[in-house]
């Protein structure tokens, strides 16, 4: 399936003058159409040889560019069903998703799948770009029919922001500048929309979370008693003197010092990486979480969550995996599959005995170590994780903590 994602991103980079000259020249040399004076914009993001041969995106390609209004990181994720796992990876931390629809095909199964994933990942804004309008003679009625079809399926997904733009990525219509072929469209072009859209999804401001990644103990003469906990503040803020709780042991202590880039600071906030030094010498290791007292999450070793299954081997009750959330990895057992989401109707199908590749299911877990999870909607970094096969150590599922 090639709906033109890589071509759209290439057009966006090219028309916004965000491509280095030497990179552009290299792409022109590799382009299939160079004898016609044209070049293939998709080559700007389709970096793998297999992608170029098949004409589809397989891996996640990241591109960086900026305008006077904003800085952007674009993740060109695969649309083909075989690589849904890569799509979930690229979308998991996105502020906005562009769902591309071929104007000739309209809403198809993968459109429904990607819309569902966008909803599950709580992406604040979804932009539906109806592409290849040049191949349907820029027909206004086709654009509005497809837009309505998507609105109908989105009624059950509760997007915060949903917008539609008709484009032709190949020719640049409504990508960086307004199209003269679709004067009936009165909205912004794609770049203008990206520069102005509200993507604020801040959560957990009053729930500070610090995930310990490394314990620093130099044990030199100058730092004989030094014990620092390096990691990233994933939500909220910390200051010297805060009373904190260390999970999962629930020990209480106080922040004695905060270091950032080798210098002492009085306070730090998400998403800064810092070193915390505490007043008490506690047994703290990688994966533990340090929270401001009174705001800590409830510890649970039995909970539910949505899983996008990414493995050829089916997921079944009784199976055991590693569950990793932030830097903590614990053993987990599948107790039950509560339901499977029908990709066509979005209905919850009960009595599911297993989950196959690309299925989205609600799983009940039990873990050997209690976890302090937050809802994905509030603090997404502390409400998501991955399932890892115990034998191969390959990632087999994407997990989102939820009670729904």
Sign of the dihedral through C-alpha 328, 63, 273, 252: negative
H or E element that contains 125: strand 125-131
pLDDT at 60 over 80: no
Q: Is residue 337 within 8 Å of residue 362, measured between CB atoms?
A: yes
**Residue among 272, 264, 242 nearest 255 (CA):** 242
Distance of alpha carbon 382 from alpha carbon 70, whole angstroms: 27
pLDDT in tens, 8-53: 888 888 777 776 555 556 655 655 554 544 556 656 555 544 333 4
Q: What is the pLDDT of residue 24?
A: 56
CB 76 within 8 A of CB 57: yes
The CATH homologous superfamily of the domain defined by 299-401: Translation factors (2.40.30.10)
Mean pLDDT of the chain: 85
Q: Between 271 and 240, whose confidence is greater? A: 240
Residues 87-133: pLDDT tens digits? 676 677 788 999 999 999 999 988 998 898 888 888 888 999 999 99
Q: Is pLDDT above 50 for 239?
A: yes
**What phi and psi, each to the nearest 5 degrees, are found at residue 315?**
-90, 130
**Of 77, 102, 108, whose CA–CA distance to 92 is shortest?**
77
* pLDDT per residue as tens digits for the range 186-230: 999 999 999 999 877 556 678 999 999 999 988 777 777 889 999
Q: 148-156, long-range: CB within 8 Å, 24+ apart, which pairs?
A: 149/106, 149/107, 150/99, 150/101, 150/107, 150/111, 150/115, 153/107, 153/111, 153/112, 153/115, 153/346, 154/115, 154/126, 156/346
Any idea which architecture 209-292 has in CATH?
Beta Barrel (2.40)
Domain 209-292 and domain 299-401 have a common topology: yes
What is the C-alpha separation between 90 and 5, in angstroms, rounded?
14
Any idea which of 23-27, 119-123, 264-268, 303-307 has the lowest mean pLDDT? 23-27
Strands 320-325 and 395-401: unpaired
Percent share of the chain, pLDDT over 90? 54
Residue 328 has pLDDT above 70, yes or no: yes
Topology (CATH level 3) of domain 5-196 = Rossmann fold (3.40.50)
Sign of the C-alpha dihedral, residues 318, 320, 297, 126? Answer: negative
Would you call 198 helix, strand, or coil by DSSP? coil
Give the pTM. Answer: 0.79
State the pLDDT at residue 382. 92
Helix (H) or strand (E) holding 341: strand 328-341
Report DSSP letters for 203-268, one per residue: --TTS-EEEEEEEE----STTTT--EEEEEEEESEEETT-EEEEETTTEEEEEEEEEETTEEESEE
Give me the pLDDT at residue 59, please. 54
Mean pLDDT check: name the lowest of 15-24, 253-262, 268-277, 333-342: 15-24
User: Residue 207: CA atoms inside 13 Å, Cβ hemisphere, count?
Assistant: 16
The candidate with the shortest Cα–Cα distance to 58, out of 42, 80, 35, 90, is 80
Beta strands in 279-319 (DSSP E): 289-292, 299-309
Paired strand residues for 251: 246
Instruction: Decide if 310 contacts 394 (C-beta within 8 A).
Output: no
pLDDT at 314 over 70: yes
What tokens appear for 108 in the block?
């198809």
| Interior/surface letters 22-56, b for 16+ CB within 10 angstroms, e for the rest | eeeeebeeebeeeeeeebbbbbbbbeeeebbeeeb
1 vs 327, residue with greater confidence: 327
Residue 142's CB is within 10 A of a number of other CB atoms, namely 17
* Over residues 272-293, mean pLDDT: 94
**Residue 14 has what pLDDT?**
79
What are the residue ranges spanned by the domains of the chain?
Answer: 5-196, 209-292, 299-401
Residue in 339, 342, 303, 335 with CA at minimum distance from that of residue 320: 335
Contact 107, 153 (CB under 8 A): yes
pLDDT tens digits for 142-186?
A: 999 999 999 999 988 888 889 999 999 989 999 999 999 999 999
Higher pLDDT, 254 or 345: 254
Across-strand partners of 334?
365
Task: State residue 40's pLDDT score.
Answer: 61
Give the per-residue pLDDT at 45.
Answer: 58
Burial class (CB in 10 A: 0-12, 13-18, 19+), 339: middle
Residue 384: which H helix or E strand, with range?
strand 384-389
Secondary structure class of 346 (helix, strand, coil): coil
Answer yes or no: are the C-beta atoms of 264 and 177 closer than 8 Å. Answer: no
Segment among 3-7, 215-219, 254-258 with least mean pLDDT? 3-7
Q: Round to whole Å and give the CA distance between 200 and 183.
A: 31
């Amino acid at each position: 399936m090639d709906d033109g994602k890589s071509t759209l991103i290439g057009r966006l980079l090219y028309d916004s003058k965000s491509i280095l000259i030497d990179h552009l020249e290299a792409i022109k040399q590799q382009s299939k159409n160079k004898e016609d004076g044209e070049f293939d914009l998709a080559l700007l993001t389709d970096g793998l040889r297999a992608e170029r041969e098949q004409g589809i995106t397989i891996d996640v390609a990241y591109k960086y560019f900026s305008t006077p209004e904003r800085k952007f990181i674009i993740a060109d994720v695969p649309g083909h069903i075989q690589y849904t796992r890569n799509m979930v990876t690229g979308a998991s931390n996105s502020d906005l998703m562009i769902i591309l629809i071929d104007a000739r095909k309209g809403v198809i199964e993968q459109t429904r799948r990607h819309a569902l994933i966008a909803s599950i990942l709580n992406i604040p804004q979804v932009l539906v770009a109806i592409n290849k309008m040049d191949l349907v003679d820029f027909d206004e009625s086709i654009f509005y029919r497809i837009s309505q079809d998507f609105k109908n399926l989105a009624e059950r997904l509760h997007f915060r922001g949903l917008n539609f733009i008709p484009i032709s990525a190949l020719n640049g219509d409504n990508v960086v500048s307004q199209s003269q072929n679709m004067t009936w469209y009165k909205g912004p072009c794609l770049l203008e929309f990206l520069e102005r859209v509200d993507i604020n999804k801040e959560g957990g401001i009053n729930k500070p979370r610090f995930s310990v990644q490394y314990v620093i103990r130099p044990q030199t003469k100058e730092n004989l008693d030094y014990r620092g906990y390096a990691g990233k503040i994933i939500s909220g803020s910390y200051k010297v003197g805060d009373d904190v709780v260390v999970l999962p042991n629930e020990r209480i202590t106080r922040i004695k010092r905060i270091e950032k880039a080798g210098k002492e600071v009085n306070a730090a906030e998400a998403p800064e990486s810092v070193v915390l030094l505490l007043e008490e010498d506690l047994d703290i290791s990688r994966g533990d979480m340090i929270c401001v007292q009174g705001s800590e999450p409830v510890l649970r070793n039995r909970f539910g969550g949505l899983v996008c299954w990414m493995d050829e081997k089916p997921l079944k009750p009784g199976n055991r995996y590693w569950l990793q959330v932030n830097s903590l990895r614990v053993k987990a057992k599948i107790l039950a599959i509560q339901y499977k989401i029908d990709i066509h109707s979005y209905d919850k199908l009960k009595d599911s005995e297993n989950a196959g590749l690309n299925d989205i299911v609600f799983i009940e877990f039990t873990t050997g170590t209690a976890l302090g999870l937050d809802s994905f909607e509030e603090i997404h970094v502390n409400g998501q994780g991955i399932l890892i096969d115990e034998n191969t150590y390959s990632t087999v599922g994407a997990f989102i903590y939820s009670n729904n």
